[in-house]
Amino acid sequence: MTIYNFSAGPAVLPKAVLQQAQAEMLDWHGSGMSVMEMSHRGKEYMGIQAQAEADLRELMSIPSSYKVLFLQGGATQQFAMIPLNLLRGKLSADYVNTGEWSKKAIGEAKKFCNVNVAANNADRNCTYVPAFDSWKLDKDAAYVHYTPNETIGGVEFGWVPDTGDMPLVADMSSNILSRSVDVRKFGLIYAGAQKNIGPAGLTIVIVRDDLVGHSDPRLPTMLDYKTHAENDSMYNTPPTYGIYMAGLIFQWLKKSGGIGAMERTNITKANLLYGAIDSSNGFYVCPVNRADRSRMNVPFTLKDAALDGDFLKQAEARGLLQLKGHRSVGGMRASIYNAMPLAGVQTLVNFMSEFSRSKG
């Protein structure tokens, strides 16, 4: 039986990448060492990290005027690092609230500055993206922060806000590398690795050069982007194995046709799953506004919550794992990141159809 892991993160990784990592586990390219054993200052590992950065730059067309940082602490640590580095003497920042991860970023930023919530979708239980013409931006804000994809609520922006000269900051933890984006529209992009990049423990920050180096001199050394930019992400020992795995993912993406090809596949997968939900005559319901549905995280409920346990039990027996929704929203959630094959989504859709017929 084939197992399909629909976990929101840590999430499924490409089988080919896991097999390559397995083959190289004890001896990386004849070095006699596992990557986990290598000195981060040795030529072998430094080559691995340099190649990973080069491949990411190629995949996302990252301009030379942006730094790529490989950091630790998760995307959650960036909730504090961003205001600490990007306020640049200003007293406020704009934030857009579209769900649980936006709320966490807002809560952390409030410790360091005045937060203007420029747009908020709480009036409809965080199930839509507020139209840009409704945003109330503060002209004196240091930057605008938003979450392009809300992992828990399944709300995703299908567009990039145009904030003019004000730096746009995006938490792309759950949709980075899944769709084409113009990096030049952003001041800073950050993403935890454990969804589309690799194992947990690595965080990637892509930051425009002119936004680096303006932090308060009292800022702890490890929280200053300048520290990591000036030391090629090696001020201290970086998460070496996580970076190695990310590099394998980047190579897999390139072999798969790049981000454009992956985006087309993601659209097909999402359409297949949402189609099954919408054609179920109300047996399954997705609460998210249709135009704002995530391609990565698909939440849905059953017509009778009493069926949830049976649904999960039967799904697991079919090899369909981690479908239980987040505790804050309940129901089900299928995360269909880049590494989830189309066959996995088709298997889920077939099961959903059989289950609704048997219980409807």
CA distance linking residue 32 with residue 47, whole number of Å: 16
- pTM, two decimals, is 0.97
Structure tokens at 11: 């999430």
Structure tokens at 57: 């730059």
3-class SS of residue 11: coil
CA distance linking residue 262 with residue 274, whole number of Å: 18
Structure tokens at 74: 């998760």
Got the DSSP string for 269-334? Answer: HHHHHHHHHHTSTTSEE--S-GGGB-SSEEEEEESSGGGHHHHHHHHHHTTEE--BPPTTT-SEEE
Radius of gyration from C-alpha coordinates of the chain: 21
pLDDT at residue number 360: 76
C-beta of residue 242 within 8 angstroms of C-beta of residue 193: yes
Name residue 353's amino acid: S
Helices (H), 61-135: 74-86, 100-109
The residues assigned a catalytic role are 101, 171, 195
What is residue 133's DSSP assignment?
G
**Cα dihedral angle (293, 297, 303, 306), rounded to 10 degrees?**
-160
What is residue 246's DSSP assignment?
H
pLDDT at residue number 326: 87
3-class SS of residue 122: helix
What are the tens digits of pLDDT across the range 220-274?
A: 999 999 999 999 999 999 999 999 999 999 999 999 999 999 999 999 999 999 9
Domains and CATH numbers, the chain: 15-255 (3.40.640.10), 259-359 (3.90.1150.10)
Encode the chain (360 residues) as per-residue pLDDT tens digits: 999 999 999 999 999 999 999 999 999 999 999 999 999 999 999 999 999 999 999 999 999 999 999 999 999 999 999 999 999 999 999 999 999 999 999 999 999 999 999 999 999 999 999 999 999 999 999 999 999 999 999 999 999 999 999 999 999 999 999 999 999 999 999 999 999 999 999 999 999 999 999 998 899 999 999 999 999 999 999 999 999 999 999 999 999 999 999 999 999 999 999 999 999 999 999 999 999 999 999 999 999 999 999 999 999 999 999 999 988 788 999 999 999 999 999 999 999 999 999 987
CA distance linking residue 79 with residue 92, whole number of Å: 15
Structure tokens at 302: 């059953």
Instruction: Tell me which residue of 326, 271, 281, 319 sits closest to 302, measured CA to CA.
Output: 281
CA distance linking residue 312 with residue 355, whole number of Å: 11
357: left (phi over 0), alpha (psi -120 to 50) or beta: alpha
